[in-house]
Amino acid sequence: MSSLNPFMSIADALVSPEWYVRIDDGDPVGPVSADQIARGIRAGKVPSDARIGRGGGTHWEDILSSGAVLAALKQL
C-alpha cells in the first residue's frame, strides 16, 4: 500500500498534485492530487478499478490500495 509522504502534513499530502491515473490501458491523466482522485471516484468519473502511479513511473497499483486516496476518501 502506498503511504503518504512522511515529510508533509496529511492535509498537504492530500492536495499535492503528484499522482497519475490510468483507466484500462488508456493514457495517464495527471498530475492530480489524492483529493481530486477521491472527488472523481465519488462523482463516478474515476472508476474504482483504475490504476494509480507517481510521476512518470512505470509502477501502477490499484487506486483503492493507495493510502493517500483512501485517506482523501475518508475526508470527503
User: What pLDDT digit, counting tens, does each position of 42-64 carry?
Assistant: 999 999 999 998 876 678 899 99
CATH topology of domain 10-75: Dna Ligase; domain 1 (3.30.1490)
DSSP assigned state of 26:
S
| pLDDT computed for residue 50 by the predictor | 95
Cell numbers for 3, please give them.
Answer: 503511504
Residue 2: pLDDT band (50, 70, 90) is very low
Residue 38, SS3? helix
List of residues 6+ apart from 6 with CB closer than 8 A: none
For 75, the grid coordinates are 475526508
pLDDT value of position 47: 95
Is the bond preceding 31 in cis, omega lying within 30 degrees of 0? Answer: yes
What is the chain's mean pLDDT, rounded? 83
**SS3 category, 69:** helix
